[in-house]
Amino acid sequence: MSILVVGSVALDSVETPFGKVDRVIGGSAVFFTAAASLLVPVRVVGVVGSDYPFEKLDFLTERGADLSGVEKAEGESFFWAGRYSHDLNSRDTLELRLGVFADFKPSLPEVFRDSRYVFLGNIDPALQLEVLDQIREPTAVICDTMNHWIEESREALVELLGRVDILMVNDAEARQLAGEHNLVQAARWIQERGPRFVVVKKGEHGAMLFGPDWMFSVPGYPLEVIFDPTGAGDAFAGGFVGHMASVDSLDPDDLKRAMVYGSVMGSFAVESFSVDRFHSLDEGQILHRIMEFKEMTTFEHELEPSGG
Amino acid sequence: MSILVVGSVALDSVETPFGKVDRVIGGSAVFFTAAASLLVPVRVVGVVGSDYPFEKLDFLTERGADLSGVEKAEGESFFWAGRYSHDLNSRDTLELRLGVFADFKPSLPEVFRDSRYVFLGNIDPALQLEVLDQIREPTAVICDTMNHWIEESREALVELLGRVDILMVNDAEARQLAGEHNLVQAARWIQERGPRFVVVKKGEHGAMLFGPDWMFSVPGYPLEVIFDPTGAGDAFAGGFVGHMASVDSLDPDDLKRAMVYGSVMGSFAVESFSVDRFHSLDEGQILHRIMEFKEMTTFEHELEPSGG
């Protein structure tokens, strides 16, 4: 089972309270793939400029990622520079240059068009639609977006929702999209426009999954040091979609497990700059953290009076 | 197994987006007792003025609460008037009059002094210490506080911490007390000053329990309408301490269940004004909601590769 991701393949300069890095590999497609390729082969669609250190993506290829959908264009790669506040609760964008991404027109290699699990990273909804048009018969389409597109491309975004199985956004985005502060009601608003499922990411507070008539909640992993929050959401998506595809199922029990895989991958992502943590990550470490999530959330209760 | 609570017995005027009420019963001891008395007998220590509609507390007495520790003083009862923002994320205090509470000196009836589970509601740490001095041999002391005491009475509060088994505060208070943004580190800072356990309440994001070398997380109950957030934290404490006392145990499994009882009681508290929801609440409804928490958080995972 192969999954397809479309998103940014970027260079990031990041400053956190713990240090700074310059022009390291990043972008939604890279974080997604770093996590998902640990679980399932990944096909990547994107664009880089002539300045991109493509060999830094070799570790993804070695894990079975197919980068033949990453176009190499003349010009500069997508570049983002940002600085996080001391409590990591906010970040300032210091510089943002779209470079070759400004003219990106995703064109899928023929062999990518039978992909069954599709993750549409946070790019222009018009491009997300163009990608979908090139997929023959997806089993599940999972989609991210952000405040910019909610404000500027609402019409295309709502059209897209009609073709999406799972919308995956953060709590502020869910509220903004639905125009509704209560998350339960916001999720229902979104579900009425297409997606059967809504995943709401809440950073340190974990994530929620809204199904048709049930919901699931997973806490944030209690890290003592959050080294660099960049990419956590995309790594979450990589773990989530990676697990779904690896078991080829959208059954509730599998989606719940997928939420935990997402949380695990997101928690690893923030332990280092860039995708560094994923270089050394192995299955044993992943399973260990899954079990930590289980211990952290499991309680037993019999259907009996508690006393009094 | 009986528990003792000391806290405010107040009159509240509350305005939320869903309505308003004038001079209804409230205060930390009342919300705590409304929840805890469903699980275990409760002894209440506090003070009211001559204007207090004491008969409105009859339903607590009928459930086995002993109000003989509530002093009736000449003067006005503690009064709070507040208004919540439309998204319930913030509230303005419109009026606050301490009344007879200003001269409150807790004096425990002799029969209260053998109490083994003690909840020190959010009052002056000096008064919390005075209450503790009157308890012979408590099994567990659970303590709440707030930003005001952290700022104005830090010395007494830190002294108190040395005599407390479980500190129960919200996330902002834990951070402020420890001077540390990271909650894991903040909890450890607090534990180093006495409490074996720290409970951090996070409102809609649920709550966390930090043990000596483990932690537990419970999500917020996903309510579509939060009618009135007043008292949720004290009802949480009532469910938490009520369950602990009813099973007479501080074992990790029992404390985890206590976290769920707390969350359940907190979620009921916000469904109505004042303690109204607790009038009709029965064991079946409590157990049903506990099971909803279980379904919302349970996932299965075998220690096997997930695919890929």
Question: A38 vs B291: CB contact, 8 Å cut-off?
Answer: no
**Rounded to an integer, what distance in angstroms lies between the CA atom of residue B8 and that of residue B79?**
10
pLDDT at position A304, please?
Answer: 55
Cα-flanking dihedrals φ and ψ of residue B118, to 5°? -125, 120
Task: With beta carbons less than 8 A apart as the criterion, state whether B120 and B167 touch.
Answer: no
Sequence-ordered list of residues with C-beta below 8 angstroms from that of B302, at least 6 positions apart, any chain: none
Give the residue carrying structure tokens 């009420």. B21
Q: Please check the confidence at residue A38 and state whether its pLDDT lies above 80.
A: yes
Q: Which residues pair with A93 in a beta bridge?
A: A82
For B172-187, write each residue's pLDDT tens digit.
Answer: 999 999 999 999 999 9
Cα nearest neighbour of B294 on chain A: A299
Closest CA to B12 of B32, B28, B33, B36: B28
Mean local confidence (pLDDT), A38-48 = 98
Share of chain B above pLDDT 70, in %: 98
Whether B225 sits inside 8 A of A182 (CB atoms) is yes
Q: How far is A244 from chain B (nearest CA, A)?
A: 10
Instruction: Examine the pLDDT at A308 and tell me if it is beyond 50.
Output: no
In 3D, which of B142, B108, B148 has the Cα closest to residue B124?
Answer: B148
**Could A184 and B306 be called an inter-chain contact, meaning their C-beta atoms sit closer than 8 Å?**
no
Nearest CA in chain B to A205: B205
Task: List, for residues A244-262, the tens digit of each pLDDT value.
Answer: 999 999 999 999 999 999 9
**Tell me: the pLDDT tens digits for B8-35?**
999 999 999 999 999 999 999 999 999 9
Task: Fill in the DSSP letter of residue B78.
Answer: P
Over residues A127-149, the pLDDT tens digits come to 999 999 999 999 999 999 999 99
For residue A178, give Cα distances in angstroms to A152, A182, B295.
15, 10, 26
Average pLDDT over residues A214-221: 97
Task: Judge whether residue B202 has pLDDT over 60.
Answer: yes
Cα–Cα distance measured from residue B7 to residue B89, given in angstroms and rounded to the nearest whole number: 24
For the residues A24-34, what does the mean pLDDT come to?
98
Judged against a pLDDT cut of 50, whether residue A79 lies above it is answered with yes
> According to the model, what pLDDT value does residue B87 have?
85
Residue B306 and residue A1: Cβ atoms within 8 Å? Answer: no
Question: What is the band of B171 on the pLDDT scale with cuts at 50, 70, 90?
Answer: very high
Model pLDDT, residue A56: 97
pLDDT of residue A307: 47
CA–CA min distance B238, chain A (Å):
13
Q: Which of B87, B183, B294 comes nearest A181 by C-beta? A: B87
- Determine what percent of chain A is predicted with pLDDT higher than 90: 94
Is A224 in contact with B182 (Cβ distance < 8 A)? yes
Q: Mean pLDDT lowest for which of A3-12, A86-95, B122-131, B191-200?
A: A86-95
pLDDT in tens, A173-205: 999 999 999 999 999 999 999 999 999 999 999
DSSP state, residue A238: H
A-B C-beta contacts closer than 8 Å:
145
The verdict on a CB contact (< 8 Å) between A205 and B208 is no
All residues of chain A having their beta carbon less than 8 Å from the beta carbon of residue B297 are 216-218, 297-299
Q: How many CB atoms lie within 10 A of CB A174?
A: 26
Would you place residue A303 in the very low, low, confident or very high pLDDT band (cuts 50, 70, 90)? Answer: low
pLDDT at B304: 55
Question: B146 to each of B121, B152, B232, how far by Cα in Å?
Answer: 10, 10, 14
Which candidate from A181, A290, A296 shows the least CB-CB separation from B301?
A: A290
Mean pLDDT in residue range B252-260: 98
Report the percent of chain A where pLDDT is more than 70. 98
pLDDT for position A87: 85
Residue of A nearest to B256 (CA): A299
Q: What is the mean pLDDT of residues A268-285?
A: 96
Q: What is the pLDDT of residue A46?
A: 98
φ/ψ bin of B27: left (φ > 0), alpha (ψ from -120 to 50), beta (otherwise): left
Shortest distance, CA A168 to any CA of chain B (angstroms)? 18
Average pLDDT of the segment spanning B72-101 = 94
User: Considering CB atoms only, which of A41, A215, A296 is closest to B296?
Assistant: A215
CA distance B33 to B199: 19
What average pLDDT score do residues A49-68 get? 97
Determine the distance in angstroms separating the CA of B275 from the nearest CA of chain A, rounded to an integer. 19
Tokens of A126: 């018009």
Selecting from B185, B246, B307 the residue whose C-beta is nearest the C-beta of A247 gives B307
Distance between CA atoms of residues A149 and A126, nearest Å: 10
User: In the structure, what pLDDT confidence band is assigned to residue B307 with cuts at 50, 70 and 90?
Assistant: very low
- pLDDT at position B301 is 86
Indicate if the pLDDT at residue A90 is higher than 50.
yes
Looking at the predicted complex, does its ipTM rise above 0.90?
yes
Query: Span B247-262, mean pLDDT?
Result: 97
Q: What is the mean pLDDT of residues A267-294?
A: 97
Which residue from A minimizes the CA distance to B205?
Answer: A205
Give the H/E segment covering residue B118: strand B117-120
* pLDDT over threshold 90, residue A232: yes
Average pLDDT over residues A6-35: 97
Which range among A297-306, B22-31, B107-116, B267-276 shows the weakest confidence by mean pLDDT? A297-306
Query: Is B216 in contact with A296 (Cβ distance < 8 A)?
Result: yes
What's the mean pLDDT in A1-15?
96
pLDDT at B303: 59
Which of A149, A216, A163, A159 is CA-nearest to residue A187? A216
